[in-house]
Amino acid sequence: VPDELAAVYQQHVASVWRYARARLPDHADAEDVTSEVFARAARAWDRYDPARGSVGAWLAGIAHHVVADWWRRRPPEEPLAGAAETAPAAAGDPADALVRVDDAAQVRRHLSTLTDREREAVALRFGAGLSSAEVGEVLGISDAGARMLVYRAVAKLRQVMADE
Amino acid sequence: MSDGFGLEPTPSVDPAEQQAGDRLDASIEARTAVDPVVAALLAEGQADVPASVVARVGAVVAAARPVPRPTSAGARARRHAQIAAAVLGFAFFNHATGQLFLGHWVARQTHGVYDAHSYVEGGVALLALAAVLATAVRRSRWLDVAALAGVPAGLAYAVHGAAEITGLTWGGLLHGSEGLAAAALCLTWWRARRYARAPDSEEEA
């Protein structure tokens, strides 16, 4: 395996996993999908063309397809709301971290109120850490369209949480 | 719950909303969000990856072997085989149409006896062969099946029907073209098989 691929894996495993976690019911599924994404990326590594986009966007494109495959193979009744697991705390003040974890869990619980496409945009923007242009590329829309999807998703989450 | 890929259209754009979206985008980019929802989503984007995931993916990457990019010569050879398959499939389709809809006329022209049962079932079989060949034109992994089914049939039709050229020129030419296309498919398919094939290159073929 080329050294570059090992470096890519170390740099991007987190973003791919975060994206998968935002799109799938639980951690085990996210882990399976993350593993499959890198297995496919390793097989296709010779075909990655840096001129066509960043490696992060390339991996996100693969992840998008792997997640789509996962949902196709899965019974349709699988609830995404089951994904409301607590996020590992970021570094810093433990009290602040607890508040952040609580907020994050609350937000994740409400992701199911979004349309699938909004949820996908949020997962790509925040989970995979893609730019709006890259989100648009993965979803096949303009970057302005991607920004609007994320904006509307955030507005919807804000509204749902305010109503609670 | 659907998988949610591509079901909703791109949202229509209201200028004021667009500006708000741009501002939100800038704050996400700068990670300066004060909005609790955005802050929580940003925090999610910072979540630490479990060690089990890192270890598992690391093992996958370490064990993986990149599939080499298919050579252009190999891709070209497959393309030639697909063209031959397309020609043979087209010939079979025309043959099937004649069998199914012009059976009486064909029998009369070749001084044969029209048997609806044989003509219809022969036509259906030809349609099935044409469908396999058409699939190989779209998906190169079907070339093996297309060649194994189409080449013997095409050669057999050529041998069996070449004599029609004296009674029914159109039919003789059709049989002859089936034989030529089958021979071309045989040669191009054999040549394509000599090149190593990349399993993941199917979509590109």
Q: Is B44 on the interface with A (CB under 8 A)?
A: yes
The pLDDT of residue B7 = 44
Q: What is the DSSP letter of A125?
A: I
Determine if the pTM surpasses 0.80. no
A79: helix, strand or coil: coil
CA gyration radius for chain B? 29
The pLDDT of residue B129 = 95
Question: CB-side exposure of A54: number of CA atoms within 13 Å?
Answer: 15
Contact B190, B177 (CB under 8 A): no
How close B8 gets to chain A, by Cα (Å)? 7
Chain A residue closest in CA terms to B58: A9
- Two tokens at A116? 């699938």
Q: How far is CA A53 from the centre of its chain?
A: 18
The pLDDT of residue B204 = 39
Instruction: Give the A window 53-112 contacts with B, CB below 8 Å.
Output: 64, 67-68, 71-72, 76-80, 87-88, 90, 100-101, 103-104, 106-108
Contact B79, B102 (CB under 8 A): no
Question: CB-side exposure of A43: number of CA atoms within 13 Å?
Answer: 10
Q: Is A123 on the interface with B (CB under 8 A)?
A: no
Contact B1 A13 (CB under 8 A): no
Q: B99-105: which pairs have CB atoms within 8 A and are 24 or more residues apart?
A: B99/B123, B99/B126, B100/B124
Contact B4 A120 (CB under 8 A): yes
Provide the H-helix boundaries in A24-89.
Answer: 27-43, 55-73
Q: List pLDDT tens digits, range B40-75.
A: 888 877 788 888 888 888 888 888 766 665 567 777
Find the mean pLDDT for residues B22-29. Answer: 86
Q: Is A129 on the interface with B (CB under 8 A)?
A: yes
Most A CBs within 10 A among B12, B17, B49, B71, hence the mutation to make, goes to B49
Question: Which residues 6+ apart lie within 8 Å of B144 measured at CB?
Answer: B189, B193
Contact B67 A77 (CB under 8 A): no
Find the mean pLDDT for residues B87-108. Answer: 90
Of B10, B43, B54, Cβ closest to residue A13: B54
Write the ipTM: 0.70
A51: helix, strand or coil: helix
Of A140, A149, A157, Cβ closest to residue B11: A149
Higher pLDDT, B198 or B172: B172
The pLDDT of residue B71 = 62
Find the mean pLDDT for residues B78-88. Answer: 94
One-letter amino acid identity for A164?
A: E
Q: List pLDDT tens digits, range A90-115.
A: 444 445 544 555 666 777 778 888 88
Contact A90 B36 (CB under 8 A): no
Most A CBs within 10 A among B53, B72, B201, B202, hence the mutation to make, goes to B53
Contact A1 B64 (CB under 8 A): yes
Chain B residues close to A60, C-beta within 8 Å: none
Chain A residue closest in CA terms to B11: A145
Rounded alpha-carbon distances, angstroms, from residue A38 to A23, A121, B54, B158, B186: 17, 21, 11, 51, 38
Cα angle: A158, vertex B36, A114; to 5 degrees: 35
Tell me which residue of B138, B135, B150, B144 sits closest to B184, measured CA to CA.
B150
Distance in angstroms (rounded) separating the CA atoms of residues B117 and A5: 61
Chain B residues close to A22, C-beta within 8 Å: 44
Chain A residues close to B68, C-beta within 8 Å: 46
SS3 track for chain B: CCCCCCCCCCCCCCHHHHHHHHHHHHHHHHCCCCCHHHHHHHHHCCCCCCHHHHHHHHHHHHHCCCCCCCCHHHHHHHHHHHHHHHHHHHHHHHHHHHHHHCHHHHHHHCCCCCCHHHHHHHHHHHHHHHHHHHHHHHCHHHHHHHHHHHHHHHHHHHHHHHHHHHCCHHHHHHHHHHHHHHHHHHHHHHHHHCCCCCHHHHHHC
The pLDDT of residue B69 = 59
Residues of chain A with pLDDT under 50: 79-94, 97-98
Find the mean pLDDT for residues B165-179. Answer: 82
Query: Judging by beta carbons within 10 Å of its beta carbon (0-12, 13-18, 19+), is residue B147 exposed, middle or buried?
Result: buried
Question: CB-side exposure of A62: number of CA atoms within 13 Å?
Answer: 27
The pLDDT of residue B198 = 47
Share of chain A above pLDDT 70, in %: 80
Q: Is A113 on the interface with B (CB under 8 A)?
A: no
Q: How confident is the model at residue B26 (pLDDT cuts 50, 70, 90)?
A: confident
Q: List pLDDT tens digits, range B99-136.
A: 889 888 888 877 778 888 888 999 999 999 999 999 99
Tell me which residue of A127, A131, A136, A133 sits closest to A108, measured CA to CA.
A127
Find the mean pLDDT for residues B79-88. Answer: 94
How close B53 gets to chain A, by Cα (Å)? 6
Instruction: Give the B window 145-204 contacts with A, CB below 8 Å.
Output: 200
